[in-house]
Structure 1
């Protein structure tokens, strides 16, 4: 099976680590709740730089790898995640 590299959101884990929910992050960062929800579910097709900056500042992220990472997935698994 062929592997493919994709960007993965780690926001769900970060929220858990900081003990806050999506609504609280929205209030702090001013990023749309729907956008935050998509990131938590790892369903984003794009990551707007402004949104990343707002979330990074709101959560005190020091390294972008805390928020997003690159992972390898099987082609079949990636296609099934639409």
Structure 2
């Protein structure tokens, strides 16, 4: 078995790398954002769950309106055909 000290050192080295990576990313985030803004390649934020539901409801509403219009038009045609006009 590996010496306990080497095992502990390996563990803490891994934790150090994780924290250093997070620190570098956090430090460079504003610089990256500014660079993307200047280059015109800003990332669009992911839609939130509420936004997705709102969009889905809006789409469902539009489909329902269109279906209602189609049914009303069909009913008018049938009535005209029945009346012979």
Both structures adopt the same fold (TM-score exceeding 0.5): no
Question: TM-score, length-normalised on structure 2?
Answer: 0.16
Q: Identify the structure with the greater strand proportion.
A: 1
Q: Which has the higher contact order (CA 8 A, sep 6+)?
A: 1
Question: TM-score, length-normalised on structure 1?
Answer: 0.16
